Structures are given as structure tokens and as C-alpha cells.
Structure 1
């Protein structure tokens, strides 16, 4: 008989580098899935790790192998500290995304650090991780992986959008799940606001004082990625190649860069969700706190935007990676062909035992 109750830890580290999200969550299956987040915490990166992770794409393969070993140890320490702090006794598995070092699916290449087999020994528990690798092997993008969670845990919303380093969306269309990266968001906004000495633009207040540069806005909106059909995904390499050089060529004040890029992202998101008052959008991720950005989207779309509880806003991705691990443990599909472009639906991830 397949187990229907799980106590798991979900771990997520995103491209915005604001820290490692860790959740302790219970799942129960009775015809539909239910969950309860018991504990949730973001562990901020040290300055040293922020610097290393920010520059992953520039390291040699030998250097990356060593970083992978070091990061696996670091990640295990973070998770162990979380377990001790919250006195967690009942644990079926730790389900971890790791951190994306390289993501070039067109070359059949994806590399998440922190997923080495010895993490199970370091944690002394079962670990489910490395969820992207198999999908890329099957010809998929290896991303996005969250849509199966959107479909099974948040089915009451017509669109699920996460505003993290990138804005990504998932929704049902013609009886299948469609999902893709819409555009960069915080990976760009945070990069420029840090030049003013801030980690992020609180509530979008700096952006709100800027002026839209129409020429830059037009060039951003004309980037070829936006004309591609899903499945499609974005990575830091794409931003380094296509976004930063384009913006920097205009030599604008930071407030105008932020204002223009908010406008660009709002246009791209509104284009996807349309303007249907009967539909709802679940909006999560750090960008949901950017009041100016959210209002910019609302100005362009009448589709109802719902911002859920703080825990769901901040920890939805960690929650869903916990869920991906549960589905893998049950031998059930957690990766959708319609989303990633792989040759088939499949149950992705590696299971390591201590």
C-alpha cells in the first residue's frame, strides 16, 4: 500500500540569492492533496557564499566540482540547524532543489550544486534531490518544475505566477498544464538597486520615482525570447548576454532603469494573464511585496490578483519541492511533458539513503 501521509523538509535556493528557503511540511492524500506548513525559515547566505554563487557561470568545471562539495556540506549544515532549532522528530525525507550552477538545456546541460549523494549521510536521513537532470536527459528544459504543485495544490487559481529572480507562470490550457518563464524580474531589479547600496527596492519606491525610457522599453519588449512559444525557460546566462548589456548601453540613472524594467515586466506579465475579471492569479515570491510593481501589473490587467499568506508568498517554491519529493517517493509523475518539452511525463529526482 502506497503511503499517504508524509512529514518532509523542502529546500529551495533561487537565482535572487536572498537565502535558502527551508520548510517543514505535512502532506496528506485523500482523493486530493492537502498540506500544512509547520515551520518555515529563510537562512541568509554569508557574503562569501553570495559572491561564489553569483559567479558560478564563470568558474571552470574543476572549480565547480569543488564548490559542489563545499556547498553540499554547507547546505547540510543549514538543514541540520533547522531540524535542531525546531525540534523536528518525525521526518520521512529531505527534498532539496540545490542551487542552479549551469542551465543550458539546449546542450543537454543542467547542473545543480548541493545534490551530492553524501548529503544523505550528512543529514542521516533519506534525501530526494536533483529534480532537473532526468528531464533534460529526456529532451526537456528541466524547468519549470513547480507547475505540478500548482496543479495539485493550488487548483482553485487559473494562473499561478511566482515573482522571484524570474517571473514564471503555470495554467491549464486545453486539458494540459502550460508553464514557462515569462521574463526576468528580481535578478535584474536587485542587480541595479545594489549599485545604490540596497539589497532590493522596498515596495518599488525607488522605481516609482523614475521615468520610463521608451526606447529602452521598446528594445526590451522586442527581445526574441518573448516571441518564442513554450516550453521555454531563462537563466542567468541569458540575462548576462541580453539584458545587462542592453540596459547599460543607455547609461541611465538607476531609478530610470528600475522604472523602465518594472514597466517592461508588467507588460510581459499582463500579456500572459490577459484581462478577464472572472479569473484569478495567485501571486507569490519576493516580487509580490513590490507594491509599485504589482500596481503596474494591475493597471494593465483586470484579471484578479490574489496575494496569499506571507508563508505561501515566501515559501511556495520550497513547499512544492517538498511535494515533488513526495511524488517521487510514491513513484508518481512530478514532471510534465507539456511544461518542459520532455519526451514524456515522468517521475524525476534522485533518492539517496544514508
Structure 2
């Protein structure tokens, strides 16, 4: 018997480009999961909210809790408006939240946007806090998307998300592996923002720049890149390493963008082992997949053994929101949604707190 769920999936990424809201239908049919994104939008954050999210990591504990609650209320209100606008009747909401701290070596990963406040203002049940159980079991609490890559996008050899942080997921020797590769849109957007642009449209500025070998060397230098998986990155690491290298460089913004794109393409190439004979299908999603210069560099760096594919814009933009909707469905069903082969936890687990409205 087919079973379908209608879920609102929510994602707020480290690049601070807004709240992704995706109304998804997820159907279990003949042993397979089938997805459909029915309605989706990105709510652009106000300058004031961006500033609050950027600065809260150095705020007092009291202010952090206050923003956790007010951001949850804001999300819940936006979801309620989205539901009214499209006349929807979803079963529940699944929210990733917005990451403030991610230091799994210290058993810390905090995503704000309190699930209880989302439930109260969206007037729906909410699944949130997907990472904590995995960290309690000794894992990284990240990446979380690979179970969705496995069950929804299994036709691809590699699933790469070019979000604030680029990550990869693939199946090797019978198990799903995944990890964060390097900073991506956190670098590209920060550089574009420095000249009052929200992003580098189609990578045009990057394409116009010149290659800076010393900057590339510094970007590639951190030990993280040679470390084995499981591993994951947080904003703190990016600030200390990648963004610091950019700040210390005297190159122009265009030259920095150009060189960062080379850095990302090189790190992706190092992250993708050959899995079999013949072409390897590579799925690119996330905001970076709209950067035509970056995509061309990735294909060039990977070479003829790989076929880089950018899907329809809806999947590019909302794949992560879709997969968090799917993680919520798995949590709702009491099924594993976090893989120990990816995170390094002591076992597969069922992550997520449920708030019933």
C-alpha cells in the first residue's frame, strides 16, 4: 500500500541567503521513495536579521536563548503565511534551523529556531534538532543529507551540494560515505557582499579575475583537507582559515573570486574517487550550481571520467529543504535518518525532536 506525506521542509544555510521553504510530497511506493516539490520559495532575510544571526555567536547566553525563540517564532509565522497563501494542508513541518556553533570535537552543534516556537506559530507539529542524538552517540552530527541522497537521488554516483559549505555524498563498498569538502558560498558571497552585490551573478566577476597562486596555496593549506572522513566544517573553522586567507590577501575582489573558484574545484576533484568503469554521474545542487564559471571549472578539473549535471532550478535551490522534509518523515516513522558510516557515530540513529501542536 502506498503511503504519502505532505511536509513543509525548512533550511537556513550558513551563507545567510534566506529561509528555504518547500512543500513536498513524499510517497513510499513498492519499496522506493518518490518525491515531488509542490510549492517552494526562499524568504530573503532582512539586514537586521542577518546581523543578529552573524553576531549571536559572541552574544550572552540570555541573548542567544532570546534569538532562538524569536527566530523560531519568525519561522513559524512565515510557514503559517506560506500555508495560507497556497491553501495547503501539510502533515507537519521539518526544520533544520540555523547553525550557530558546530564543534563536534567538543560535542557541540547548535541550530537555533526553536521547534516549539515554530509549532506554536505555524500551528502544526514540528520535527527539529536533527543533530544532537548523533553527537551524543559520538558522531559529527553531520552531514545529514546523505540518507536522502541514498534513497531519493541514488541514480547519481555523487551528490555534491554547493551551499555555504560544499559537501559530497557517495556510495562505496556497500556503504554511504559523505563529508564536508570546503567553504563555498560563504566565501563567494562574502566577497560579493564586500562590493555591495548579493552574489556573483553567473560567476561573471570570478571569470573576469586573474589567478593568484599564493592565495590558492594558502586556501589549500589547512590540514583539514588531507584529514580522513568522517569530518565536517563549521563557520568557526571557515572564519579562522579560509576567510582569514582572503582577508590577508591584497588581491582584488575579482581575483579573489577567481581563485576561490579554483580552490573549490580542486578540493572537489580530490574528494571524488573513481568508483567504477565508465562515466561517473555528478549531481550539483545548492546556490553555487548557478555559478556558471564555477561549474565549468569543476567539470574541467574532474575530467572526462565524470559527467557534471545541474538539475532543474527547483531541485538546485530546494534539495536540502526537500531532504529535511524527508528526514522528518523518517523520524515520524521511527526509521533511521542518520548514518553512522557518514558521521562516525556508534550506530545509525533516529534524530529529531518532535513538538506536537
Output the CA distance in 2 between the equivalents of 1:56 and 1:277: 48
Verify the 8 A CA contact 1:164 1:185 in the aligned structure 2: yes
Quote the residue 2:291 is aligned against.
Answer: 290
Q: Helix, strand or coil for the counterpart of 1:97?
A: strand
| Post-superposition offset of 1:289 | 0.6
- Residue 318 of structure 2 corresponds to which residue in structure 1? 315
- Could you report, residue by residue, the CA deviation over 1:114-150 in whole angstroms, capped at 9, with x for unpaired residues? 1242332222221111101111111111111000000
2: CA distance, partners of 1:117 / 1:209: 47
**Following the alignment from structure 1 to structure 2, what is the Cα–Cα distance between the partners of residues 100 and 277?**
39
Runs ≥4 residues deviating over 6 A: none
Q: How does 1:1-354 map to 2 (within 5 A)?
A: 4-30=3-29, 31-89=31-89, 91-274=90-273, 277-301=278-302, 302=304, 303-354=306-357
Q: Distance in 1 between matches of 2:249 and 2:20?
A: 36
Q: Report the Cα offset of residue 15 of structure 1.
A: 0.6
Secondary structure class of the residue paired with 1:118 = helix
Alignment gaps of 5+ in structure 1 = none
- CA displacement at 1:63 relative to structure 2: 1.2
Q: Is the 8 A contact 1:95 1:127 kept in 2?
A: yes
Q: Matched residue pairs, number?
A: 352
Give the Cα–Cα distance (whole angstroms) in 1 for the partners of residues 284 and 317 of structure 2.
10
Shift of 1:277: 4.9
**Contact kept? 1:277, 1:304, Cα under 8 Å:** no
The alignment yields a C-alpha RMSD, in angstroms, of 1.4
1:314 Cα shift? 0.4
**1:20 shift after superposition:** 0.5
- Asked if 2 retains the 8 angstrom alpha-carbon contact of 1:159 and 1:170, the reply is yes
Per-residue deviation, residues 82-106 of structure 1 (Å, max 9, x unmatched): 10111102x2111111111111111
Q: Give the whole-Å Cα distance in 2 for the aligned partners of 1:111 and 1:204.
A: 32
CA spacing shift, 1:106–1:238, aligned 2, 3 Å: same
Preserved contact between residue 68 and residue 116 of structure 1 (Cα < 8 Å): no
Distance, in Å, in 2 between the alignment partners of 1:22 and 1:46 is 16
**How many Å separate the matches in 2 of 1:130 and 1:115?**
9
Q: In 2, are the aligned partners of 1:162 and 1:169 still within 8 Å (CA)?
A: yes
Q: 2:76, 2:120 within 8 Å by CA — same for their partners in 1?
A: no
Q: Matches of 2:313 and 2:216 in 1, distance apart?
A: 32
Superposition TM-score, scaled by structure 1 size: 0.97
Q: Which moved more, 1:151-160 or 1:202-211?
A: 202-211
Mean Cα displacement is larger for which, 55-64 or 268-277? 268-277
Output the TM-score relative to the length of structure 2. Answer: 0.96
Change beyond 3 A, Cα 1:264–1:277? farther
For the Cα contact (< 8 Å) 1:121–1:353, is it kept in 2? no
The residue matched to 2:348 in structure 1 has which SS? coil
